Amino acid sequence: MKKIFLILSIFATINYNNAYANLESFSCENLLTKNKTFIVYGNNFAKEEMSPNIWLFFQKIKLDKNNLNILSIDDDKTIREWQIDIVSGKATLTPMFDPSSNWLCLNTEKQLIALNDLYKSGALSGYEFEKAKKKLLNN
């Protein structure tokens, strides 16, 4: 019985980790107000951290080439809509009762990889690399 339980628990752990393996994330900042938010998304899943540990889930996710559009809907009305250009990071947030605002949404992990590649190729010195990495991680 213990062996069966052990095998099932290992199988459950492996499947749990695979369920979230393909998720991407963005750290977003409003260009005017400097407000920040965090967005996590996958093919059929998206959520936004509205404030620490309070998440808003999106019901419609559309990913076309370099554009991500996510909508949160209630009673067939759009509550919140994000339109994000994945390459440039330029984003527009359209909430239900407020005017649209411009944001910058960056994928920190991809930026760190790009910085590391620049450093390895010699395009950045060690000092420049560390300074850019520190700035990126502190945002």
**Average pLDDT of the chain, as a whole number:** 82
DSSP 123: S
Q: Are residues 87 and 113 in the same domain?
A: no
Q: How far apart are the first and last CA of the chain?
A: 50
How would residue 80 be classed by pLDDT, with cut points 50, 70 and 90? Answer: very high
Q: Are residues 81 and 32 in the same domain?
A: yes
**Between the CA of residue 53 and those of 33, 76, 110, what are the distances in Å?**
21, 26, 24
Q: Are residues 82 and 37 in the same domain?
A: yes
Show the domain range for 51.
Answer: 21-106
Look up the pTM and report it: 0.67
Q: Are residues 85 and 31 in the same domain?
A: yes
Q: 7 lies in a domain?
A: no
Q: Are residues 55 and 74 in the same domain?
A: yes
Give the span between the Cα atoms of 39 and 36, in whole angstroms: 10
Q: Are residues 72 and 31 in the same domain?
A: yes
Give the pLDDT confidence of 28-40 residue by residue, as tens digits. 999 899 999 999 9
Residue with the larger pLDDT of the pair 29 and 15 = 29
Give the pLDDT confidence of 83-121 residue by residue, as tens digits. 999 878 899 999 999 999 999 998 877 778 878 888 889
Backbone phi, psi, residue 58, to 5°: -105, 135
Q: Are residues 122 and 66 in the same domain?
A: no
